[in-house]
Amino acid sequence: MEMLSARALQGEAPFYAAQGEECRLFEQAHASRLPLLIKGPTGCGKTRLVEHMAARLRRPLVTVSCHDDLSAADLVGRHLIEGGNTRWCDGPLTRAVRQGAICYLDEVVEARKDTTVVLHPLADDRRQLPIERSGELLEAAPDFMLVISYNPGYQNLLKGLKPSTRQRFVALCLDYPRPEIETQIVGTESACSAEVAARLVKLGQALRRLTEHDLEETASTRLLVMAARLHVAGLGLRAACQAAIVDALTDDADTAAALGEIVLAVIGNG
């Protein structure tokens, strides 16, 4: 559930190709002690942006991948019994608040509804975390920053942020990068040739234009990078695209066949 970023602690910024002013916005939000909401499709670089900025700002990063069973207690903490004694154990959000870390809640709408209530006093001028079970009212350290993300295109009526939550955050919208930037990303992340990177990006654009197939997600930059890495490791490019992109996007045989035809048209038999 939780991941601590060693790169952020060491100040080593992972590669990130900016699409616009998102890095500047992140820096200004941190300097102004404002929480940040990042919206964008799966695999467009939301998590990489947070990792990159945590390292640039030299702040520790605590990442929580949210899921259906994630509760407020999982974030804040709980009492544990050890050897017949009870002790309090901080959750990842509480530790980040104490340390002045950046706390990143990835796909926050997947978590249980009681989690957003906990975030409200942290995401406004109070910057406080009430810990009901221990009776503590924790003031956020000056460098603490709350960042949440979600994919607007993958929501339903039961999984969305309430206006009372959304309006506490500065919002940043990301999308898949422009072709020239995405080509740079694919090439840098996989060490493939510029020609292969360009062909993969062209394939990604073609797949994203599809409207007649019922795909929950489309070809993300992440999937293009995975295909490129398989190719660099020795797999044929078409086979790499089949494994990393087509078969990752669908289980339906007819849809997979249609996607495979697009791969053949763009990539060829190589």
How does pLDDT run across 66-75, given as a tens digit for each residue? 999 999 999 9
Kindly state the average pLDDT of the residues 222-229: 98
The pLDDT score that the predictor gives to residue 184 is 97
Q: How far apart are CA 141 and CA 160, in angstroms?
A: 29
* pLDDT value of position 211: 65
Question: What phi, psi does 267 have (nearest 5°)?
Answer: -95, -35
Percent of the chain with pLDDT over 90: 74
What is the rounded distance in angstroms from the CA atom of residue 187 to the CA atom of residue 196?
Answer: 8
Question: Identity (one letter) of the amino acid at 205?
Answer: Q
Average pLDDT over residues 178-191: 97
Tokens for 130, please give them: 């009430």
In 3-state terms, what secondary structure has residue 193? coil
Question: What does the pLDDT read at residue 113?
Answer: 84
Whole-number average pLDDT of the chain:
90
* pLDDT in the model for residue 4: 46
Task: Tell which residue, 78, 73, 163, has the closest CA to residue 111.
Answer: 73
In the three-class reduction of DSSP (H, G, I as helix; E, B as strand; rest coil), residue 235 is classed as coil
Q: Residue 15 — φ and ψ, nearest 5°?
A: -60, 135
User: Does 155 have pLDDT greater than 70?
Assistant: no
CA–CA dist 154, 160 (Å, integer):
10
Residue 259 scores a pLDDT above 80: yes
Mean pLDDT of 180-197: 97
pLDDT band for position 7 (50/70/90)? very low
Residue 147, both tokens: 């960042």
Q: What is the pTM of this model?
A: 0.88
- pLDDT at 158 exceeding the cut of 60: no
Q: Is 97 helix (H, G, I), strand (E, B) or coil?
A: helix
C-beta of residue 224 within 8 angstroms of C-beta of residue 176: no
Under the banding of pLDDT at 50, 70 and 90, the label for residue 208 is: very high
Joined tokens for residue 148: 């949440």
Task: Extract the tokens encoding 193.
Answer: 């040739």
CA distance 228 to 222: 10
> What gap in Å lies between CA 93 and CA 96, rounded to an integer?
5
Number of H helices, E strands in the chain: 13, 10
Q: Please tell me the distance from the alpha carbon of residue 53 to that of residue 16, in angstroms, as a whole number.
A: 9
Tokens, residue 121: 């006093």
**Beta-carbon contacts of residue 83 (< 8 Å; ≥ 6 apart):** none
In the predicted structure, residue 206 carries a pLDDT above the cut 50: yes
Mean pLDDT of 137-162: 83
What integer pLDDT is reported at residue 116 of this predicted model? Answer: 86
- What is the model's pLDDT at position 230? 98
Mean pLDDT of 28-46: 96
Which of the four pLDDT bands, split at 50, 70 and 90, describes residue 214?
Answer: low
User: Residue 216: which pLDDT band, with cuts at 50, 70 and 90?
Assistant: confident
